Chains A and B, each alone.
Chain A
Amino acid sequence: MKHIADSYFRILEQVVFADDSELVELNLSEAFDLGRSLMEEMTPPDEVIQIHHDAIVRLAAMYPDLPFAKVAERITKPFMEMSMAYGMAFREQMERRYQAMIISRLEQSRLEAVGTLAAGIAHDFNNILGSIVGFAELAGDELEVGSTGQGHIDQVLIAGFRARDIVNRLLTFARQSPTNLIEVDVVSQVKETLSLLSVSCKPDMEIHFKSDLDNALILANPGQLQQVVMNLCINAADAMNHKGHLFVSLEFCNLASREHETCTNAVCLTVKDSGHGIPPDVQDRMFLPFFTTKAPNKGSGLGLSVVHGIVTQLGGNITVQSRYETDNPGTEFKIFLPLADKFTLTLNRDAQ
């Protein structure tokens, strides 16, 4: 802030004393740039006025004989430039924010629509799968044990159960209503899930875990957290071709909600990989159900939509940072989940 005040003072000084118009113009455009950078630094408007005011006071102190009435116009010019740029930048930023808000709303309602649709067909799907699996078993029982036919039937059964898993994941994604939320310790759940994962992961991959917290209670359905960690880690492992280091960490943080103007104690789960990174066009769509870049039998495209569904239900946030096509590509997912004490506080208040 000090350097901006100094720059502005020098601009004002030059404009007031300049002999040629070119020098004035040059300084005015500098005042304009200054206005922009003030907005970028999120300087509040009254501080912008203060900068101008301070500069005038300084000018008066430095040049006691300055005929203010004569240079009044020159004094206001840099301020006009600076505040104009400031105002323009402010407007641009508001528009950008508004756009982002509209996009995320659109995204949200699109996700919801798909979820409702999925939930609607899940029942029929499971009935159909029930018939497929059941009749396959009946057919299999007619065949000799160990026969080729029996082998084929076994494949039908496996396929049927794979389809069931997909339907279940869709339902998890669609289920946004808080059913039976209980206090869950994020630290032990994440640890547990990671030890499950490390048993099944390839020998060339190593999972590192670090936690700033001994425990962190959130309100969730049991199993939800496991789903989140599993999906993020499997994605990360896939992106790294199952080689290298995967970093998972937990830390305390504050979750600010612009909408409700509140700040909540939260736990932040970070999953950081050194995989191939995510291209921007994939980033735009990766949370949509069934969006996948993987081979048909490798990914169903439901992982991140499940993560999104769960995190939204728990009142949390997701951020993604990815370096793609750089020297050290990689991706960092951060999941912010509000801690349970905030909920108990509001619940208690409601009860009174």
Chain B
Amino acid sequence: MAHILVVEDDEQFRGMLVQMLTQDSHRVTIAHDGDEGVRLSQQLRPDLIITDIIMPHKDGIELIMELSNLSVDIPIIAMSGGRRAISAEFNLESATLIGVKSTLAKPFTRNDLRQAIRQALA
């Protein structure tokens, strides 16, 4: 199916996501933070990036902006919980403003995930 780069700092959540994606027969690569995400995106050119928004070091928004500055044109799905008086929707809103294809608010269902992927790859 597709080659997907998962950028997520929470190990358990990342593990869950990888399970779901591989079961749907996607090829998955993982990155643990924004920096690694940018590097792997450039090196591997995956079909799709699924990234968390709030991460230490480089967060998801920075990753998305950096990729667009580097003219790396890969569809992105942004996921978020929410923190510091910023709700999930708000974070996701700012992500869409900078060209994210679809968004997911944690926690989400398997169906939400499939739908987001379909939408991003369409």
Contacts and interface: CB of A to CB of B under 8 A. Distances in A.
A171 B85 CA distance: 6
Contacts of B84: 119-120
Interface stretch (B25-33, B36-44, B70-78, B103-111): B103-111
A157 to B, nearest CB: 8
Contacts of B13: 127, 130-131, 134
B81 interface: yes
A286 interface: no
A138 B85 contact: no
Contacts of A133: 107-109
Interface string B74-112: 000000111111111010000000000000011111100
B23 interface: yes
Contacts of A130: 10, 13, 16, 81, 106-108
A70 to B, nearest CB: 74
A133 B81 CA distance: 14
Interface residues on A, range: 20 to 34
Interface residues of B, number: 26
Interface string A57-72: 0000000000000000
A130 B50 CA distance: 15
Nearest to B53: A123
A211 interface: no
Nearest to B8: A127
Nearest to A137: B110
B16 A126 contact: no
A138 B81 CA distance: 21
A122 interface: yes
A138 B87 contact: no
A122 B109 contact: no
Interface stretch (A7-15, A79-87, A174-182, A201-209): A174-182
Contacts of B106: 126-127, 129-130, 164
Contact of B16 (A125, A138, A179): A138
Contact of A138 (B10, B12, B19, B108): B19
Given A125-B81, A131-B12, 5 more contacts: A123-B54, A123-B83, A129-B107, A133-B109, A164-B106
27 contacts: A116-B85, A119-B82, A123-B82, A123-B83, A124-B81, A126-B82, A126-B106, A127-B12, A127-B81, A130-B10, A130-B107, A130-B108, A131-B13, A134-B13, A134-B110, A137-B109, A138-B16, A157-B109, A164-B107, A167-B82, A168-B87, A168-B88, A171-B82, A171-B85, A171-B88, A175-B85, A175-B90
Interface of A: 115-116, 119-120, 122-135, 137-138, 141, 157, 160-161, 164, 167-168, 171-172, 174-177, 179
